[in-house]
């Protein structure tokens, strides 16, 4: 158990370090050029597809899914015992819930301008402590929800673990394509989602 605890901490530290080293150059040099490159896509078929993909990880969809998963996991545990199946179902609910809670607080704390604000008046960066939608870009909520669910599914599925992760990546890309997020927002969201899934798995399955 001690080795697993250390490996989980090490994974988190390395993932955080890698995320920081990716976010900094994107924030300083690449976020705006990418946003400018996708901006002309506004109103095109690509954006319509992006919106459909984004919908898969919208807050209402994920909250509804996690609510029923939480009920299913609790009932399964009470009736059949909290074995691997019940804990897997609960993890599918708890990881996105934790990611959403953390993500909402970080969005408020950083208060980062969304791309539309840049194209409207040139504002870019952080305002700090803002609950305004157009100042809640960092991290991407859709991405953290998608990656938290996808990472849990990768843990619990016996085969084709890569499919949910591919869907999560597509959700992250869609947020940039539709012009709602910068790439660094997506990277941070992915890190939060994966980390919540990893730590949730550690706590629920550490006895195995």
Note the pLDDT tens digit of each residue in 116-153.
999 999 999 999 999 999 999 999 999 999 999 999 99
Contact 103, 189 (CB under 8 A): yes
pLDDT of residue 1: 60
Examine the pLDDT at 68 and tell me if it is beyond 90. yes
Q: Scan for tokens 């990881």, then name that residue.
A: 95
The pTM assigned to this predicted structure is 0.96
Tell me the pLDDT band of 158, cut-offs 50, 70 and 90: confident
Helix (H) or strand (E) holding 143: helix 141-156
pLDDT of residue 159: 84
Rounded distance, CA 208 to CA 201, Å? 11
175 is written with which tokens?
């947020």
Tell me the per-residue pLDDT of 69-109, one tens digit each, with 9 for 90 and over.
999 999 999 999 999 999 999 999 999 999 999 999 999 99
pLDDT of residue 197: 98
Tell me the pLDDT band of 198, cut-offs 50, 70 and 90: very high
3 is written with which tokens?
């080795």
Query: Domains (ranges, CATH) in the chain?
Result: 2-205 (1.20.144)
pLDDT of residue 2: 59
Neighbouring CB atoms inside 10 A of 47's CB total 17
Tell me the pLDDT band of 160, cut-offs 50, 70 and 90: confident
Q: Scan for tokens 């195995």, then name that residue.
A: 208
Neighbouring CB atoms inside 10 A of 207's CB total 7
Report the range of poorest mean pLDDT among 42-46, 63-67, 155-159.
Answer: 155-159
Residue of 169, 161, 166 whose CA lies nearest to 190: 169
pLDDT of residue 208: 67
């Amino acid at each position: 158990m001690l080795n697993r605890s250390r490996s989980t901490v090490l994974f988190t530290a390395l993932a955080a370090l890698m995320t920081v080293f990716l976010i900094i150059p994107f924030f300083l040099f690449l976020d705006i050029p990418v946003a400018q490159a996708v901006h002309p896509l506004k109103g095109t078929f690509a954006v319509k597809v992006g919106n459909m993909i984004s919908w898969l990880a919208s807050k209402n969809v994920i909250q509804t899914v996690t609510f029923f998963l939480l009920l299913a996991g609790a009932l399964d545990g009470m009736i059949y015992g909290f074995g691997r199946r019940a804990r897997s179902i609960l993890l599918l609910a708890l990881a996105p819930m934790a990611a959403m809670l953390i993500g909402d607080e970080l969005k408020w704390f950083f208060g980062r301008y969304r791309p539309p604000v840049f194209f409207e008046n040139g504002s870019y960066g952080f305002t700090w402590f803002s609950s305004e939608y157009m100042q809640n870009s960092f991290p991407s909520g859709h991405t953290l929800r998608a990656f938290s669910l996808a990472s849990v599914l990768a843990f619990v599925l016996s085969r084709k673990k890569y499919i949910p992760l591919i869907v999560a990546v597509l959700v992250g890309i869609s947020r940039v394509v539709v012009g709602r997020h910068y790439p660094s927002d997506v990277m941070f969201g992915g890190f939060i989602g994966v980390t919540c899934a990893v730590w949730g798995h550690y706590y629920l399955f550490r006895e195995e």
